[in-house]
Structure 1
């Protein structure tokens, strides 16, 4: 029993040290730029034309259009992407700034998404509850 207590005490010390190292090492990687939710420039809130593919989980058929549209709009503090061809909208999107006027959004958990928008370009790859959205502006 005494051996188990010593073992768990040592393991907890190792976990504590590794946690402190992890937290301090993350802070030293900063390049001076603030990362946070940003407001997109009004010029990016427009319609984009491109290759649209939507695959619903219910098996009702794939929607595919080489000249599909995706319209990016703002609603309060979040953004919505509305699609042509009866494809469901993506809502509640937030963006962070990247380099050279590129803005991106990503999420994890039960959904997986990557949305990148920059001047004249919108790229979307999203999976939510088994349904998939893909869009690439021409």
Structure 2
């Protein structure tokens, strides 16, 4: 009985995730969103430089928080908070510069944090 409940819960979670993954869905319109964007990804930090023209970024949104999971051993950006109903974050401050725009079809990132720089120019 416990196994049946675990399997049912897992199937429900999978169906919710796949429903959230439609290429037509705009992340700003959903509280739960998962999508993979493919294109150029870069990362630069002290002594480290990574680049791929065939990279990808998996975007996971829960509420107003976004998580960007990069390919090619690029560190992830986690817990980036967007304003509710918006699909971009722009903040240029004293020690950090942030630009992220994610729509149903594209992802653009130019993000600086703690001396590291992430960039992405991707589509899905």
| Shorter-chain TM-score tier | 0.5 to 0.7
Partner of 1:78: 65
Alignment gaps of 5+ in structure 1: 1-37
Alpha-carbon shift at residue 132 of structure 1 (Å): 0.7
Could you list the runs of 4 or more consecutive aligned residues of structure 1 that deviate by over 4 angstroms after TM superposition? none
Assess if the C-alpha contact under 8 Å between 2:32 and 2:61 holds in 1: no
Gaps of 5+ in 2: 1-26
TM-score where L is the length of structure 2: 0.66
Considering only CA atoms, is the larger Rg found in Structure 1 or Structure 2? 1
- Size of the aligned set, in residue pairs, is 95
The structure-2 alpha-carbon separation of the partners of 1:76 and 1:119, relative to structure 1 and needing over 3 Å to count, comes to closer
Q: 1:106 aligns with which of 83, 90, 95?
A: 90
Report the counterpart of residue 35 of structure 2 in structure 1: 46
From the superposition, tell whether residues 70 and 136 of structure 1 become closer, same or farther in structure 2 (CA, over 3 Å).
same
Secondary structure of the corresponding residue to residue 72 of structure 2? coil
CA-based RMSD of the aligned residues comes to: 2.4
Highest RCO, 1 vs 2 (Cα 8 Å, sep ≥ 6): 2
